Amino acid sequence: MPIKRNELRGPDVEIKHTTTYYKDACLLWLAHLTGMRALEEEVGVRLLARTTRSVALTEAGQQLLNRLAPALTEIGETLEEISGRRNKAAGRIRLLIPRLAATTVLAPKLGQINRDYPEIVLDVTTDGSRRDIVADRFDAGIHFGEYIEKDMIAVRVSHDLRPTIVGSPGYLQANPRPKEPRDLLQHQCVNFRPGSAGSYRWEFEKGKKSMSVAVNGPLIVDDVGLVIRAALDSVGLAYLSEHDIAPHLAAKRLVPVLQDWCQPYPGFFIYYPSRRQRTAALAALVNVLRH
């Protein structure tokens, strides 16, 4: 039997709340929360007087109820507030997202999210490593589709991405162009470290062949902007998304190589543990970001 919030107000519960309904509700709730017989054995005092036809509070039980009434009120209000999150797009959403997705997927939609859902608070952590969002208490994450566990609900939030290996005209003038991925071992390359797992191995695919190469070079960074800057300054070859360097490609400030080895791969997806526990706020965010 549910207890209504307005039936649990005030410390003087023994005066204001003497209806059978209220007492029955409290008895049932107390019994459910505490395991009444186990509690009676623990304190060594009978809290309920039981017969085959009825259950009533003893004097000790009434004293316990009077003391617990404010706490029961707070519990009821908190449960009501939490339950309301399922139906109202409001509250905090903790989101784990790589920096690349933050700039290309989330940033363009921040204004719309704020206008359409002003009561949503986005708490964003930018980290490209493959962290456990459940263990780290995030509500959702955004990452490449290939990195998302199979038991997660995933919704696409970007188109497929295409990688490209690029170098500046000056670098390629001073060094022979690679003809296959293994040639990269003879080149200076800019390493990108997306998180704590180490530098990213450059991945290639051509027909039925696929391989990854652990490149070397004078620079390891965790920021895509620095990778682009280093490539423009002839520090070495870089592995980047075409989307991120489209203006530089068009202006020929960066020149692609190994294009026949660079195939599209699944883009970004927003993911979360379960559709059943999805709040209205998270559902709204998913709908705004959906591609």
Report pLDDT digits (tens) over 30-45.
555 556 777 778 778 8
Structure-block tokens of residue 235: 């520090």
CATH for 91-160+267-289 is 3.40.190.10
| Amino acid in position 50 | R
Q: Position of tokens 């960066």?
A: 254
Asked if pLDDT for residue 11 goes beyond 60, the answer is no
Structure confidence at residue 2 (pLDDT): 40
pLDDT, residue 3, reads 37
Q: What is the mean pLDDT of residues 5-24?
A: 42
For the domain bounded by 5-84, which CATH number is listed?
A: 1.10.10
* Helical ranges in 135-196 per DSSP H: 169-174
Tell me yes or no: is domain 163-261 CATH 3.40.190.290. Answer: yes
From residue 107, give the alpha-carbon distance in Å to each of 96, 196, 228, 245.
14, 24, 19, 17
> What is the reported pLDDT for 197?
67
Q: Do 91-160+267-289 and 163-261 show the same overall fold? A: yes
What count of other Cβ atoms lies within 10 Å of the Cβ of residue 275?
Answer: 8
Whether residue 219 contacts residue 230, with contact meaning beta carbons closer than 8 Å, is answered with yes
165 contacts 258 by C-beta, under 8 angstroms: yes
As a whole number, the mean pLDDT across the chain is 83
The predicted-structure confidence for 137-178, as pLDDT tens digits, reads as follows 999 999 998 888 888 999 999 998 899 999 999 999 999 999
Pairing of strands 163-167, 255-257: antiparallel
Q: pLDDT tens, 93-109?
A: 999 998 889 988 999 99
pLDDT of 275 higher than 90: no
pLDDT-derived band at 10, boundaries 50, 70, 90: very low
Annotated domain spans of the chain:
5-84, 91-160+267-289, 163-261
Q: Is the predicted pLDDT of residue 21 greater than 70, yes or no? A: no
Q: Which of 189, 194, 181, 161 is nearest to 263 (CA)?
A: 161
Q: Does position 5 have pLDDT exceeding 60, yes or no? A: no
